[in-house]
Amino acid sequence: MTDHAGPDTQGIPSSRTARRGAIVDILADQQISSQKELREALAVLGIETTQATLSRDLVEMHATKIRTASGKQIYSVPDLDGEQTRRGEESLARLERWAQDLLVAVDTAGTFLVVRTPVGAANLLGSAIDTARLEGVVGTVAGDDTIFVACRSTEDAVELQSTLIALVEPRQ
């Protein structure tokens, strides 16, 4: 089996870069827990790949498995360029989805917000906060299960805390 875009590619080139871009998009939008699931999601886009190539891609993309708050292990990759990859509503929807799955606790400490996640999930939620480009957020530093969010003011920190809590509260 060779790596190639299938007959219904919808304009997706069959390059390694295009395949990896599709992987990033899939992992940002879906909770994928196995390479088989990822291959199937790629196939839906018309991208066929071998398990060996997919495995190599995941290693080279620094993909890791993280545990969601519900205990499910899913693949995660950092943004490839370290920059914002989602804009506007998409980035806020991504933040909401990950906050619902990964936010354990949030507290303010002056102009900082301290966000707790399950072990191994801080980078994913921190990236979602960065990518959302929220007003008043200067940046984030993520460890294993803790994110420090630097805000411009204590008011911004309190407002962000309220925003994150609202994202995970059940809708009425």
Give the chain's domain count.
Answer: 2
pLDDT of residue 151: 96
Q: Which of 66, 81, 96 is the last residue of a domain?
A: 81
pLDDT of residue 8: 42
DSSP string, the chain: ---EE-S--TT---SHHHHHHHHHHHHHHS---SHHHHHHHHHHTTEE--HHHHHHHHHHTT-EEEE-TTS-EEEE---TTSS----HHHHHHHHHHHHHHH--EEEEETTEEEEE-STT-HHHHHHHHHHHT-TTEEEEEE-SSEEEEEESSHHHHHHHHHHHHHHHSPP-
Mean pLDDT by 10 residues, the chain (172 residues): 44 73 86 93 92 89 77 75 46 86 95 95 90 88 96 96 89 53
Picking from 24, 57, 81, the residue at the C-terminal end of a domain is 81
State residue 155's pLDDT score. Answer: 96
Same domain, 69 and 20: yes
Q: What is the CATH number of the domain that holds 59?
A: 1.10.10.10
User: So what's the pLDDT on residue 12?
Assistant: 52
- Full domain range(s) for residue 129: 85-167
Output the pLDDT for position 135: 86
**Same domain (yes/no): 98, 62:** no
